[in-house]
Amino acid sequence: MTDAPAPTGAPLRLFNSLTRALEIFTPVHPGEARVYSCGPTVYNYPHIGNMRAYVFADVLGRTLSSKGYKLTHVINITDVGHLTDDADAGEDKLEKAAAEKAQSIWDIARHYTEAYWADIKALNIREPAHWSIATDYVPQMIAFAKAIADKHCYELDSGLYFDTSTVADYGRLARAGTEEGESRIDPVDGKRHAADFAIWRKTPPGEKRQMEWDSPWGKGAPGWHLECSVMSEALLGFPFDIHTGGIDHREIHHPNEIAQNQAHSCSADSGARLWMHNNFLVERSGKMSKSSGDFLRLQLLIDKGYHPLAYRLMCLQAHYRSELEFSWEGLGAALTRLKRMVMAAERLKNETPGDAAHPKLAPCREKFDAAISDDLGTPIALTALEEALAMKKVDAGAKRTLVAEMDAVLGLALFETARADLRLRPRAATITEAEIEAILLRRKQARADKDFAASDALRDELAAQGVEVMDGDPLGWDWRLEI
């Protein structure tokens, strides 16, 4: 058997969308955790809702690491195809973006992949072991499709289709071929069942696509669902431990991956033991849809002056399975909360690390572990972190170590962020921090001299440049820039 060390803390219970129940995490390979997360389709910038999916996967990965499992995390980059929604026919999102911008499809994919990676970094999301790029795996996709074609597929003019009636229990994950799910699938002439899907999409006759490959079914491109089945098997092996994605994938994309996995492994096994889904970030005015043109990107939050980790904290304040509504007020509140934590952590920064197992800290540590082990209960885990930060008359070194231990799971970078980094600072502002501080110093002197007229004039001078002076602010912000 194995000599893998026993995991630390409480047993980790995770919600499995397949069984709709909480299950204790039991790794396929003792001591290891292999996780695959559906990544972005890089025809546009990710919106902050997409980034919620990766914050969730990151917390999952950090939790598994903190419990002692050797984590192998894969996130794919869909740089090929992907039609509008879950449809099988119609325009490719990537080809469309390339046509609109008159650039090569490869440049488009590269540009948006880099933009996505910048957001990953800004949100302190750990790099996975592999970024699997779909176009690197086309030969394996063709081999996979060939292996299942005879028993499970049929060919139409538009491509090779998977017959969903050939596998056991199709749609178990979605809980039926739901009407809601099926209404999102475009009808394609000749399909045997509404839920059948393309695993190879032929280039229409007379057309030349920028991305197309030769295959036994003619020139074309792999279906989107095929990409994830192939890359997850290639990098993690079937069965692996956990497959993640947003809740929308529970309806079509993941049931289709499961069907392919079952076909390829000639079994009823779904390919992953646990299928986990984060709920959506919603915004009332519809700014979360990439097709709306003016949608919410992380860069927009940064341009308005918000530190990106305030958005990370906003995500953690809700349980990943709950819908979360975005608002600027909510983001502002998260920023303030983060600032409080960073201020408390600043006092511990230079302490020599001690023993986090200090008896006085034990209840707090246990509360944190119980919360995070209960299906990643970040809202309660955050309160445990705040309690640890606020604890008085306790060995500072031990406290520092405990805070670092908790932050290793939550990823708020408390010891790497300074309070000045968190100041609301819109990009459009022209006045520099040094200029503001210099005027404030003159104002302080004027007040000390009881020259209130001069002091008021300096305050007005700042106000004219968008700086609001906040005398005696309990959080010590001192001033705020609003443009």
User: 48 is in the binding site of which of Zn ion, ligand AMP, none (Cβ under 5 to 8 A by kind)?
Assistant: none
Residue 409 touches Zn ion, criterion: CB under 5 A? no
The alpha-helical segments, DSSP class H, found in 156-252 are 179-183, 224-236
Give the total residue count for the chain.
483
DSSP characters over 460-473? HHHHHTTEEE-TT-
Looking at the Cβ atoms of 224 and 368, the one nearer to ligand AMP is 224
What is the nearest approach in angstroms of Zn ion to the Cβ of residue 408? 28
Looking at the Cβ atoms of 49 and 308, the one nearer to ligand AMP is 49
Do 118 and 125 touch, CB atoms closer than 8 A?
A: no
Per-residue mark of binding to Zn ion, 174-213 (x: CB under 5 A) = ----------------------------------------
Residue 42 touches Zn ion, criterion: CB under 5 A? no
- Category of 120 on φ-ψ map: left (φ > 0), alpha (ψ -120 to 50) or beta: alpha
User: 250 is in the binding site of which of ligand AMP, Zn ion, none (Cβ under 5 to 8 A by kind)?
Assistant: none
Position 192, amino acid = R
Residue 34, helix vs strand vs coil: strand
Looking at the Cβ atoms of 27 and 40, the one nearer to ligand AMP is 40
User: 159 is in the binding site of which of ligand AMP, Zn ion, none (Cβ under 5 to 8 A by kind)?
Assistant: none
Looking at the Cβ atoms of 38 and 94, the one nearer to ligand AMP is 38
Q: Which residue's Cβ lies closest to ligand AMP?
A: 246
Residues that bind ligand AMP (CB under 6 A): 38, 40-41, 49-50, 52-53, 245-246, 248-249, 278, 280-281, 288
Query: Which residue's structure tokens are 């022209």?
Result: 430
Do 384 and 368 touch, CB atoms closer than 8 A?
A: yes
User: 40 is in the binding site of which of ligand AMP, Zn ion, none (Cβ under 5 to 8 A by kind)?
Assistant: ligand AMP
User: 220 is in the binding site of which of ligand AMP, Zn ion, none (Cβ under 5 to 8 A by kind)?
Assistant: none
Residue 236 touches Zn ion, criterion: CB under 5 A? no
Residue 319: closest CA among 12, 5, 60: 60
The stretch among 60-68, 140-148, 198-206, 220-228 that binds Zn ion (CB under 5 A) is 220-228
Distances (CA, A) of 233 to 9, 77, 160, 267, 270: 30, 15, 21, 14, 11
Looking at the Cβ atoms of 148 and 458, the one nearer to Zn ion is 148
What is the nearest approach in angstroms of ligand AMP to the Cβ of residue 383? 24
Residue 160 touches Zn ion, criterion: CB under 5 A? no
Distance CA 342, CA 345 (A): 5
| C-beta atoms surrounding 256 within 10 Å | 29
Do 305 and 404 touch, CB atoms closer than 8 A?
A: no
- Give the sign of the dihedral formed by CA 433, CA 436, CA 438, CA 440: negative
User: 158 is in the binding site of which of Zn ion, ligand AMP, none (Cβ under 5 to 8 A by kind)?
Assistant: none
User: 459 is in the binding site of which of ligand AMP, Zn ion, none (Cβ under 5 to 8 A by kind)?
Assistant: none
Looking at the Cβ atoms of 228 and 341, the one nearer to Zn ion is 228
Residue 228 touches Zn ion, criterion: CB under 5 A? yes
User: 228 is in the binding site of which of Zn ion, ligand AMP, none (Cβ under 5 to 8 A by kind)?
Assistant: Zn ion
Secondary-structure breakdown of the chain: helix, strand, coil percentages, each rounded to the nearest 5: 45, 15, 40
- Give the sign of the dihedral formed by CA 118, CA 119, CA 121, CA 127: negative
What is the nearest approach in angstroms of ligand AMP to the Cβ of residue 326? 9
* DSSP label of 84: S
User: 181 is in the binding site of which of Zn ion, ligand AMP, none (Cβ under 5 to 8 A by kind)?
Assistant: none
Distances (CA, A) of 370 to 236, 271, 375, 379, 462: 29, 29, 10, 12, 48
Looking at the Cβ atoms of 42 and 344, the one nearer to ligand AMP is 42
Looking at the Cβ atoms of 40 and 308, the one nearer to Zn ion is 40
Size of the site for Zn ion (CB under 5 A): 2
Residues that bind Zn ion in the complex, under the rule CB under 5 A: 38, 228
